[in-house]
Amino acid sequence: MRALLSALLAGLIFGVGLCISGMSDPEKVLAFLDFSGNWSPRLMGVMLSAILVHAAWLRWLVRDDESAPTSIGAPPAGRRRIDAALLGGSALFGAGWGLAGYCPGPSVVALGTFAPSMIVFVLAALAGMALHRGLVRSSQTPTSK
């Protein structure tokens, strides 16, 4: 129950942060990606501010916490290298992001408009995630029985 409440609180704060910063408006996101148009540094300011707070928290507040893993920066086992999946996946994500101006966080926030096309976007994103899971599963399990 406590884990649910803290997750709800974290999600709420995250959502309020996205709204206040303007990142819930895809135009402001696309303005950052539009280097040959009316470029806006806003997204960079939001990210730098978030990184500053989070990096400071990790550095000074959880450093001596014994329940923390020895290396807080450790990525999931088996995925430690900069590989084709990391770069290819990020390139595909960037294409979708640049097309619509929504990354996963703002897309959930924008569901709050109850616009049918936003519901379609989020369902499509979930389908993309399920598709990836399906492909990973089928590549791990040999097809022959």
Restricted to residues 7-26, the positions that interact with other proteins (CB under 8 A) are 7-26
Binding mask 78-117 for other proteins (x = CB under 8 A): -xxxx--xxxxxxxxxxxxxxxx-xxxx-xxxxxxxxxxx
Six-digit token string for 99: 């097309």
From 112, 121, 106, select the one nearest 46 (Cα to Cα). 106
70 binds other proteins (CB under 8 A): no
Closest distance to other proteins from the beta carbon of 11 (Å): 2
140 binds other proteins (CB under 8 A): no
Six-digit token string for 132: 């990836």
Q: At what angle do helices 84-100 and 26-33 cross, to 10 degrees?
A: 120
* Amino acid, res. 145: K
144 binds other proteins (CB under 8 A): no
Residue bearing tokens 């979930």 = 126
Size of the site for other proteins (CB under 8 A): 104
63 binds other proteins (CB under 8 A): no
138 binds other proteins (CB under 8 A): no
Assign 59 to helix, strand or coil.
helix
Closest distance to other proteins from the beta carbon of 2 (Å): 8
Six-digit token string for 136: 């990973």
